[in-house]
Amino acid sequence: MPPKADINKAGWEQSEFPILCETCLGDNPFVRMSKQEYGRSCGTCARPFTVFRWNPGTGMRFKTTVICQTCAKVKNVCQTCLLDLEYGLPTQVRDTALALQNEAPTSDINREYYAQNMEGKLDGNKSGLDSGRASSAGKEMLKQLARTDPYYKRNRPQVCSFFVKGECTRGTECPYRHERPVNNELSHQNIQDRYHGRNDPVAHKILSTHADRQGLKPPDDTTITSIFLSSLSQQSTELSIRSHVLQSLPSVQPTQIKSVVHVAKSRCAFVNFKERSVAETAAQAWANGLEIDGERVGIKWGRSRTGIKAATPPQTQLSTEFS
């Protein structure tokens, strides 16, 4: 559970404590925070907010809050790492699994207006997320992906740039890490994209790895853009399938679906997308199944006609391979 923030009636301006995940807070129960009112403008809504700075543990690097409390509450994320407070995951992963619509506006004026509006709507610790409609398959997926234990390694100091060049003379006194740089999962990403949950390479990796594990690895034949649904409800129709599909993929437009071919007799359907990337998005979102008309339906990638032939290599090829 995330630490409870001290939320007072006046709202974010006079916040006494930031909204943080356990990892960013660190393992020291007596952590001392320095606080600067209106210290910086929020990384997402651009309004000035109370900035907190603290050391999350011995030998760790100082952390600061980068977005305001209103923005954090709207998305239920940590003010410092921007990961979801409940699951410890990027918002893009959470929102994909729960089929949450990204409503937060992006232009400066709208952002400020929106943040003010949301501030009025938020009360107590309630977040701005409406996940009431979330499917059980989506929640299951999040439980499987969730990082529930604090991950203090993330708080380590930055890699020493002098050491990398072979020039650091500070030796063991150097406060930075003396090791080869690895691509940190949270580096090189911008706050806006991570907050709004779009074009997030970390989220994409998590989602695609999970889909692979669930048996939904995208076929090598990139002309395949269909997803096969099985065990459909007897009540399902082409229309109900189409509307459930769209509801579960808030980022997909109706025009991106080429067709839905329902075979009522065998209670299955093909959802044909126009683009491969959209089919991949669907496979990721449905990695734990999809609910249509009260029924959890099976998900598989479609197969191309030529793909069936290619799947059985000719006998001659086999014998050379194993000789």
Footprint of Zn ion (CB under 5 A): 21, 24, 42, 44-45, 68, 71, 78, 80-81, 160, 163, 168, 170, 174, 176
Least separation in angstroms between residue 62's CB and Zn ion is: 14
Closest approach, Cβ 61 to Zn ion, in A, equals 13
Closest approach of Zn ion to the CB of residue 115, in Å: 5
Q: Which helix (H) or strand (E) holds 15?
A: none
| Residue 277 to residue 117: CA distance in whole angstroms | 35
* Cα–Cα distance measured from residue 199 to residue 194, given in angstroms and rounded to the nearest whole number: 8
Residue 16 phi/psi, 5° resolution?
-90, -20
Nearer to Zn ion, 198 or 296 (CB): 198
Q: How far is the CB of 250 from Zn ion (least distance, A)?
A: 22
Residue 53 to residues 16, 72, 204, 232, 310, Cα–Cα distance (Å):
12, 16, 30, 53, 59
Beta carbon nearer to Zn ion, 44 or 225: 44
CB nearer Zn ion, residue 48 or residue 307: 48
CA–CA dist 47, 50 (Å, integer): 10
Return the number of the residue (45 or 98) whose C-beta is nearest Zn ion. 45
Task: Give me the sign of the Cα torsion angle 153, 195, 283, 275.
Answer: negative
Q: Which is nearer to Zn ion, 91 or 135 (CB)?
A: 91
> To which residue do tokens 């301006």 refer?
13
Q: How far is the CB of 182 from Zn ion (least distance, A)?
A: 16
Q: Phi first, then psi: what are they for 292, rounded to 5°?
A: -130, 125
